[in-house]
Amino acid sequence: MSVDQDTGQRNDDGYLSMHNGWFASCWPSYLPQHQSMALTMLFGTAMLRELQGTVDEVLEQVFKGNHGAFFGHASDSLDSPVQWSDGDEEDYAETEEEKAQIRSDIKQHQDRCEELIRGAGLTVPTTIRELADTMLDLGIVNQRDGLWFMPDPIPGPETVLPLSDEERARIAERRRFWEGGPAEQALIDHLKDHLDEPAEVFTSVDRLAKAIDLSEDEVRHALGQLFREGEARFERGAERTQILLEDLKDHERFHLVLDWEHFNKNRITITRG
């Protein structure tokens, strides 16, 4: 089963689970983002635990009536309206003009996604319950012999929606980014579980590759992701000057300096189930 355990959410039975291909599928760009991710976690948990029943029954089995703000702060039930934004985007705007532009962008995004869903011959969901039905219709999740099942890989938007060539190219580019995720996770697991979250490691690209059984290119991709997230930097020399990853040869030793406070504050950590 292609499901990961998501340590960002918990319930009485432990961790909730998410299909490890959700973000790579690129569906978050075409469905109500937060609520579709929450449903993916619900379906992933049902799949991993082999739960049976309707969406309502699975929700009850997982949360025992106490799902809180699982679907969003304004979404207390499956019959709550879908939300195409998280609702706090305007908090980052400094002027009324910026707020108006944000509202316009959200409306344009919603209109485009609803147009695509209708173009695929489906009904546009207006509630979370209807969104679950839409995800079933899209093949993101299904039921087999009473059990919930998510395919691997999840069929992407380009297999169902009437997308433009530009949108298809954008999905392909995003997918190349997300497909590097397993390498990044392997590096994170090594640093957290095997090295116990060190402040820094004196290492090299080829040494890391050997330690976690990846290629040097995969390690470079994973290190680059940590750097772009502001969670790592690379230093060399007696004066400990910061250097660029691309300036390092595979065999050259360097200090991998890690910011675990930033990591633990901003990441939803994924651990293999």
Domains parsed from the chain with CATH numbers: 3-175 (no CATH), 181-272 (1.10.10.10)
The mean per-residue pLDDT over the stretch 47-60 comes to 93
Whether the predicted pLDDT of 201 surpasses 90: yes
Percentage of the chain exceeding pLDDT 90:
53
The mean per-residue pLDDT over the stretch 78-107 comes to 85
- Tell me if 260 sits within 8 A of 197, measured CB to CB: yes
When pLDDT is cut at 50, 70 and 90, the band that residue 53 belongs to is very high
What whole-number distance in Å separates Cα of residue 38 and Cα of residue 43? 9
The mean per-residue pLDDT over the stretch 136-163 comes to 94
Q: In 10 A of CB 251, how many CB atoms?
A: 10
Cα distances (angstroms) measured from residue 68 to each of 10, 27, 76, 160: 11, 24, 7, 33
Mean pLDDT of the chain: 85
- Tell me if 112 sits within 8 A of 163, measured CB to CB: no
Q: Is 240 helix (H, G, I), strand (E, B) or coil?
A: coil
The mean per-residue pLDDT over the stretch 69-97 comes to 80
Whether the predicted pLDDT of 5 surpasses 60: no
What whole-number distance in Å separates Cα of residue 70 and Cα of residue 109? 23
Query: Higher model confidence: residue 127 or residue 184?
Result: 127
pLDDT at 271: 39
